[in-house]
Amino acid sequence: MTEVLLERPLDGVALLRINRPEAKNALNAEVRRLLAEHMSVLGSDTSVRAVVLTGNSEAFAAGADIKDMAEIGAIELMLRNNHLLWRTIAQCPKPVIAAVNGYAFGGGCELAMHADIIIAGENASFAQPEVKVGIMPGAGGTQRLVRAVGKSRAMWLAMTGQAISGTEAAAMGLAARVVPDDQVLETALDMAKTISRMPPLAIAQIKEVMLAGMDAPLDTALMLERKAFQMLFASRDQKEGMKAFLEKRKPVYEGL
Ligand code: CO8
């Protein structure tokens, strides 16, 4: 059985489904390898304009696979170089939307935070519960969560393992939108469709500049924005977008 399914539900949109229902979609080595492999291939496929990442109705992903980690030592963990797979996911240049129903715990919450946008079901459940099994978030949770919800709330969540609902996640800014559970995937696909109709060079620059700029001094970040903004005036899509506006017609973007 393939533990990550790739579908193409709409023109320009790829859908990745984590598929380990028997383990609440826990992220074993194979799931992480497949996710990274797919993200890498989709990232350089010009026919892909947006990626939606999801699980099933019960779990987006209930964390890293605890059975995989329970008995290992620090050196074995280090030699696994897990961060290389996470980095590949983080570096996918295409917009990634996480559609979250059910549990997004531990590595599952961290995986959702690798996406650019999170759409949550009302009853989704987000948590960083690693502390309850003697460890701490290890796939970016301490850093991405603090950036998403601020220090005090991130500390609360990571130190207590407290789960929050999709509604609470949206109120805190962790999720962009909360919708009824049965509308999560549809909402994410709709958003992916909207993004996939936008000029891809502009979308890629927005993603790159926002992510790089978040961790840079403001002046440097503003310079990154300025350079990317100027560079887009070299694109045919900029000419087309503005011409179409002035001619009161729909633009036809080529990605050039
Ligand atoms: N790992 C392995 N198996 C899991 C995991 C998991 N994280 N989560 C669920 N499962 C398995 C259960 O063992 C069970 O298997 P079995 O049927 O063989 O006993 C099956 O899935 C169904 O689970 P439950 O019976 O527990 O289902 P419930 O509905 O009662 O509970 C929960 C669902 C609340 C999600 C519960 O399963 C749970 O608490 N899971 C563990 C959550 C957790 O602690 N996650 C954090 C893990 S640590 C982590 O993510 C560290 C990330 C750092 C980066 C790592 C880089 C590699």
63: domain CATH number?
A: 3.90.226.10
Whether 110 sits among the annotated catalytic residues: the reply is yes
Centre a 10 Å sphere on the Cβ of residue 110 and count the other Cβ atoms it contains.
27
In a shared domain, residues 206 and 188: no
129 band by pLDDT with thresholds 50, 70 and 90 = very high
Indicate whether 255 belongs to any domain.
Answer: no
Q: How many domains does the chain have?
A: 2
Radius of gyration of the chain (CA): 19
The kind and range of the H/E element at 105 are strand 103-105
Centre a 10 Å sphere on the Cβ of residue 6 and count the other Cβ atoms it contains.
15
Residues 6 and 15 sit within 8 Å (Cβ to Cβ): yes
pLDDT at 119: 98
User: How does the average pLDDT of the chain come out, rounded?
Assistant: 97
Q: Is the CB of 105 under 6 A from ligand 1?
A: yes
Task: Give yes or no for residue 255 having a pLDDT over 90.
Answer: yes
Indicate whether 253 belongs to any domain.
Answer: no
In a shared domain, residues 239 and 127: no
Q: Which of 138, 144, 7, 21 is nearest to 85 (CA)?
A: 138
Q: Is the CB of 131 under 6 A from ligand 1?
A: no
Strands (E), 59-95: 59-61
Indicate whether 25 belongs to any domain.
Answer: yes
In a shared domain, residues 79 and 124: yes
Backbone angles phi, psi at 42, to 5 degrees: -65, -35
Task: Give yes or no for residue 236 having a pLDDT over 80.
Answer: yes
- Residue 65 Cα: closest atom of ligand 1: 1
In a shared domain, residues 49 and 146: yes
In a shared domain, residues 230 and 167: no
Which residues constitute the domain of residue 171? 4-196
Q: What is the mean pLDDT of residues 47-60?
A: 98
In a shared domain, residues 53 and 100: yes
Whether 130 sits among the annotated catalytic residues: the reply is yes
φ/ψ bin of 25: left (φ > 0), alpha (ψ from -120 to 50), beta (otherwise): left
Task: Give yes or no for residue 1 having a pLDDT over 90.
Answer: no
Distance 108 CA to ligand 1 centre (A): 10
The kind and range of the H/E element at 254 are none
Indicate whether 131 belongs to any domain.
Answer: yes
Distance 177 CA to ligand 1 centre (A): 26
Q: What is the pLDDT of residues 66-119, one digit of tens each?
A: 999 999 999 999 999 999 999 999 999 999 999 999 999 999 999 999 999 999
Whether 247 sits among the annotated catalytic residues: the reply is no
Measured torsion, CA atoms of residues 174, 52, 60, 56, in degrees rounded to the nearest 10: 140
Residue nearest to atom 43 of ligand 1 (CA): 63
In a shared domain, residues 229 and 192: no
Distance 24 CA to ligand 1 centre (A): 6
Task: Give yes or no for residue 168 having a pLDDT over 80.
Answer: yes
Residue nearest to atom 32 of ligand 1 (CA): 62
Task: Calculate ∠ Cα 248-251-256, nearest 5°.
Answer: 145
pLDDT at 51: 98
CATH number at 214 reads 1.10.12.10
Q: Which of 131, 124, 215, 211 is nearest to 174 (CA)?
A: 124
Q: What is the mean pLDDT of residues 200-226?
A: 97
pTM, whole model, 2 decimals? 0.97
Residues 164 and 172 sit within 8 Å (Cβ to Cβ): yes
The two counts, helices (H) then strands (E), for the chain are: 12, 10
Whether 58 sits among the annotated catalytic residues: the reply is no
Distance 71 CA to ligand 1 centre (A): 16
Indicate whether 212 belongs to any domain.
Answer: yes
In a shared domain, residues 40 and 94: yes
pLDDT at 70: 95
In a shared domain, residues 10 and 115: yes
* Reported ipTM: 0.97
Indicate whether 256 belongs to any domain.
Answer: no
Mutation probe of ligand 1 site: the residue of 18, 20, 24, 78 with most atoms within 8 A of C-beta: 24
Last residue of a domain, one of 178, 196, 214: 196
In a shared domain, residues 75 and 38: yes
Share of the chain above pLDDT 70, in %: 100
Indicate whether 8 belongs to any domain.
Answer: yes
